[in-house]
Amino acid sequence: MLDFQKSFGQKPNRESKPVYSYAGENPFAIEIDRLFCTYGPKIAVDRLTLRVPTGAVYGFLGPNGAGKTTTIKTLLGLRGMQGGKIRLLNYDITTHGLEARQRTGYLAETNNLYGYMKVGEIVETARRLSSRWNSRTMSRYLDLFNLSTTQKISKLSKGMKGQLALALALGSEPDLLILDEPTSGLDPLKRYEFLNQIVREVSQAGRTIFFSSHNLNEVEQIADRIAIINEGRLIVEDELDNLKLHEKAVKVAFDRPVWVHDLENIPGVRHVMQEGRRFRLLVRGDAEEVAAELEKLGARTVELVEMNLEALFIAYLQGYRENTTENTGQTWQNEKR
């Protein structure tokens, strides 16, 4: 096993080759260490640390303004960072950004293709910009997506532009594909087809996909690992199946008034949400033990609920916000005293 903690402490590698001989040996495609980004006085990413395993389909989630796009832009060198370190495919992006981008494909949230060009012209442009270009692969994708080299890009539908952008990102056979809201603006059917194409073409080849999305259903459909961030901070990061396995929800109702504090103090309860007269408890670990505790407290009904990603996402975000508010309140009270 390679020691990454040690390699982070080393001086930047000035050679063009990565520290390890090939990407397959590296367990992480992306290593973000205490990334700190600001827009003027506003903190966009606050000491974010993240490791994306090689070969993973990794969902990067968060509400609007959470810092997802800023993180992705920093990974790609579109903007600088005020602190921290990023290694992409084992290349330090501050010293070996070009080498990292040579093996990385990017699909932008908004259409970033030259509308005045024809498909063949933009393919030629992309080919000349990459030294790893595979024309046969590109032709295969153009056939797969039913794209003709004589079609003008401005005349293509939104879905076809997305497919062309994906083909261009895959033409250089990247080891890492970064997608920023890849399906935004597509109808549900196109979205489904597009995602299936991505998974079929990319993840099966053992490549890593790192993608951000607002659509939690699609993340659940294809991601095997997720990270949720808010206000630039990491809230949770784990395998999706693990989260679902360990995070359970219990719906409970009482005939008498109950203190939320009492529910929060039950071992295994991570967060309590009040839903009208009922409570939804986010539980990590054995939900049945929590259910038994609730019955001891005199619960009228106790129901174990399966957590989907959307429920997990909301629960984690609400938990984060309430904790932040509580902390802020406490600080304010301390200051008053």
Partner 1 sequence: MLYKELHQATRKFFPILLGYILVGLLFSTLLSPSRTASNNSIFHNWIIATLFLTMGAAILGGSDIIAEETGKNTLSFLLTRPVSRTNIYAIKFLVSATFLSVILLGTSLVMFLVEQLPQRYQSGWTPPGGDTVYKFVYPDKMPAGEAFTCIAVILGIGLAVLALTTLISIFSRSALHAIVTTILIAFGLIAFYAFSDLFLQISYRVNRVFDIYNGLGFWDFFVLLDLAAVLYITGLKIFKAKEF
Tokens, residue 272: 């309590």
Would you count residue 126 as binding partner 1 (CB under 8 A)?
yes
Would you count residue 78 as binding partner 1 (CB under 8 A)?
yes
Task: Kindly give, in sequence order, each residue whose CB lies less than 8 Å from that of residue 246, ignoring residues fewer than 6 positions away.
Answer: 284, 285
Binding mask 178-217 for partner 1 (x = CB under 8 A): ----------------------------------------
* Least distance from partner 1 to the Cβ atom of residue 74, Å: 9
* Least distance from partner 1 to the Cβ atom of residue 301, Å: 52
Would you count residue 82 as binding partner 1 (CB under 8 A)?
no
Picking from 205, 199, 117, 129, the residue whose alpha carbon sits closest to that of residue 161 is 117
What is the spatial distance between Cα 77 and Cα 107, in angstroms, rounded to a whole number? Answer: 14
The count of other CB atoms within 10 Å of the CB of residue 75 is 25
Would you count residue 160 as binding partner 1 (CB under 8 A)?
no
Q: Which is nearer to partner 1, 108 or 186 (CB)?
A: 108
Picking from 226, 234, 237, the residue whose alpha carbon sits closest to that of residue 57 is 226
Binding mask 91-110 for partner 1 (x = CB under 8 A): -------xx-xx-x-x-x-x
Would you count residue 111 as binding partner 1 (CB under 8 A)?
yes
Question: Cα Rg for the chain, rounded, in angstroms?
Answer: 23
CA distances from 40 to 20, 44, 82, 101 (A): 37, 10, 11, 27
Tell which one of 116, 158, 206, 262 touches partner 1 (CB under 8 A): 116
Tell which one of 21, 82, 112, 196 touches partner 1 (CB under 8 A): 112
Would you count residue 117 as binding partner 1 (CB under 8 A)?
yes
What is the spatial distance between Cα 219 and Cα 227, in angstroms, rounded to a whole number? Answer: 11
Residues 240-299 that bind partner 1 (CB under 8 A): none
Is the Cα torsion angle 165, 211, 193, 184 positive or negative in sign? negative
Picking from 52, 94, 58, the residue whose alpha carbon sits closest to that of residue 76 is 94
Would you count residue 231 as binding partner 1 (CB under 8 A)?
no
Q: Which is nearer to partner 1, 76 or 198 (CB)?
A: 76
Would you count residue 71 as binding partner 1 (CB under 8 A)?
no
Would you count residue 80 as binding partner 1 (CB under 8 A)?
yes
Tell which one of 17, 25, 114, 135 touches partner 1 (CB under 8 A): 114
Residue 247, burial from CB neighbour count under 10 angstroms (0-12, 13-18, 19+): buried
What is the spatial distance between Cα 165 and Cα 198, in angstroms, rounded to a whole number? Answer: 12
The count of other CB atoms within 10 Å of the CB of residue 55 is 18
Q: Which is nearer to partner 1, 124 or 224 (CB)?
A: 124
Task: Kindly give, in sequence order, each residue whose CB lies less than 8 Å from that of residue 130, ignoring residues fewer than 6 positions away.
Answer: 102, 171, 172
* Least distance from partner 1 to the Cβ atom of residue 126, Å: 7
Which single residue is written with the structure tokens 């529910």?
263
Would you count residue 131 as binding partner 1 (CB under 8 A)?
yes
* Least distance from partner 1 to the Cβ atom of residue 28, Å: 21
Residues that bind partner 1 (CB under 8 A): 73, 76-80, 98-99, 101-102, 104, 106, 108, 110-117, 121, 124-126, 128-131
